[in-house]
Structure 1
């Protein structure tokens, strides 16, 4: 089980996965918008999406968990 965390604060612009999706290491799971830039958040390991903890448009802080892999 792994947590995917943000690398910086920003707004969740797009969620690229849903619960039950298989992701591979390096897959972009969430895209943040910060200072008019798009920042992709990638999985650091492979797994199955077990939980999504954010919604599109929500604000996140640096190191917040956005997706959990099971």
Structure 2
């Protein structure tokens, strides 16, 4: 099991995947918006999205878990 975490604080601008989706290492999972910049957050391992911990519009802090990959 692998947890994908936010590398900076920001708002979840777009959720690209949903629970149950297959993802590859490096594939974008969500896009954060911070200081008018879009920051893609990618999967750190290949597998299946077991759980998404955020929704569009949520605010995350650095280190918050965004998704769990199994």
TM-score by length of 2: 0.98
**Per-residue deviation at 1:67?**
0.5
State the aligned residue count. 70
* CA distance, structure 1, for counterparts of residue 20 and residue 54 of structure 2: 16
* CA distance, structure 2, for counterparts of residue 44 and residue 54 of structure 1: 17
Aligned to 1:16: 16
**Per-residue deviation at 1:50?**
0.4
**Per-residue deviation at 1:41?**
0.2
Matched, 1:59 2:64: no
TM-score by length of 1: 0.98
Gaps of 5+ in 1: none
Matched, 1:39 2:39: yes
When the two chains are superposed, the root-mean-square deviation of aligned CA atoms in Å is: 0.4
